[in-house]
Structure 1
Amino acid sequence: MKIAYLGPKGSFSHHVVKTAFPDEDLLAFANITDVIKAYENGLVDYSVVPVENSIEGSVHETLDYLFHQASIQAVAEIVQPIHQQLMVVQGQSKIEKIFSHPQALAQGKKYIDDFYPNVKIEITASTAYAARFISEHPEQPYAAIAPKSSAMEYGLEVIAEDIQEMEANYTRFWVLGTNLPPIPLKTETEKMTLALTLPDNLPGALYKGLSTFSWRGINLTKIESRPLKTALGEYFFIIDVEFTEKELVHFARKELEAIGIGYKILGSYPIYTIVEKGKERR
């Protein structure tokens, strides 16, 4: 099989696909839209994209493209713990610039302020790009904040581990495709993600829509609004629904249709969690 992911090598996305698809052909793409289009254009069997981070929130590029433009659905979710490391070229002892993605820099700000208050900060498109960049300039006093997989990929030395301020940092990734592939990870539970569009002439439409799940005892684990991109103040609503009672969810969807609330299924999927050695999820 061929699997598309958000590159470059050494990124969290790369670590996810290597863990979930250890024996498959992995193809890196420069942005999320291109990762999804790789499946739509028949270049790959599955596409893997980030959908939400526990600190930074939803990945809008993923959700908006899947709602507005794609017919592809999520068939699995993989949860990746996020741990940031400070790394340098082997033997480098002087640091004058630290490179990384803005989110990683923000997560490591306290550590940087405490130990490297005078260094210059340089923003990169991703943490893996930062690691690759400093590996290509070994003579420069550079460091990068990136995942451990980046250090392994580019031959860098980790000089400070887990410098992120918040320990409870996870990113959800969706596997997009037609059928559930074999994934060598333990599954926890199952969810369905729906995107609701509300009719203009139905007072209390959102309340009524959510009530179809509430009175059936179906738990919602997320609700978020996104612009419909039709007019100011018009939105669609993304909800994550526990999918253990499939028949109840089926009847809730039928009730949504009956009261005139449209919806698009973005996916129904089991959830897998990557457990890093020595870092059990709490």
Structure 2
Amino acid sequence: MTGKQTAMRGLLIDLDGTLYHGTHRIDGADVLISYLRQSKFPFRFVTNNSSSTPEEVAERLLKMGIPAAAEEVCTSAQAAAEHIAGLKPGAAVFVVGENGLRKAVQESGLLLTEDQPDFVLQGIDRSFTYERLTKAIRYIHRGAQFILTNPDLLLPSGDGLIPGAGSIGAMLKAAGGKEPVLIGKPSSILMNYSLREIGLKADETWVVGDNMATDIAFGEAAGCGTILVLTGLTTAQNIDYYMEQAGCKPNIVCENLEELRSYISDHREI
């Protein structure tokens, strides 16, 4: 481990690649989260995934033996809906996305619409069609604001990589001619939402994740401490490459989740 030490009073923890791979729990994930809960140390699960509701995310974690509750989950869908509601309460929103995104829109008092929207809100959509693409770009050309939940181009699945929200977003950007407002990591919008949820300031909070370009860049840009775990995308073999690509470095590197738990135990502040 290496890096500077700052106040550690709470954690924002990534999910896929950090606590699990697909549907398989990473060794030590259950022990880590149980430790945080038992010691009453504040944390939130923070995910770029907009397809699931917080309840669905928590249920998925529970099925893998990782303690979780919906109120501990912060998604890009929630942050996106709150952002739009802050810009225009009750706005009409055309959603390119799945259940988690649609539900977040409704719960924020926004109107789901298929006609004349104020905003085009796009996340991952595994039922995406050419017809939906056509509608979205026409609305963007007519003046609807384009909001993108997250920039992830590719996602892991049980049988290989699949296109992420960023891949659909690239089509909408190219055809719509507008740069989207980005919500998820490494954007400050999801960070600010997560900090409000956990009730801490950036310099009291550490970000934990396996991805330099999203998790670590996310934390560094906000002024949080950052801990890279070598449990997913980044490994001991490729860490130098990903640090160079991301243009940033983590404060701390942990090889596994037991090493992470030990570091938190030694450095947390009450």
Instruction: Verify same fold: TM over 0.5.
Output: no
Q: Which has the larger radius of gyration?
A: 1
TM-score, length basis structure 1: 0.24
Indicate the structure with greater helix content: 2
TM-score, length basis structure 2: 0.24
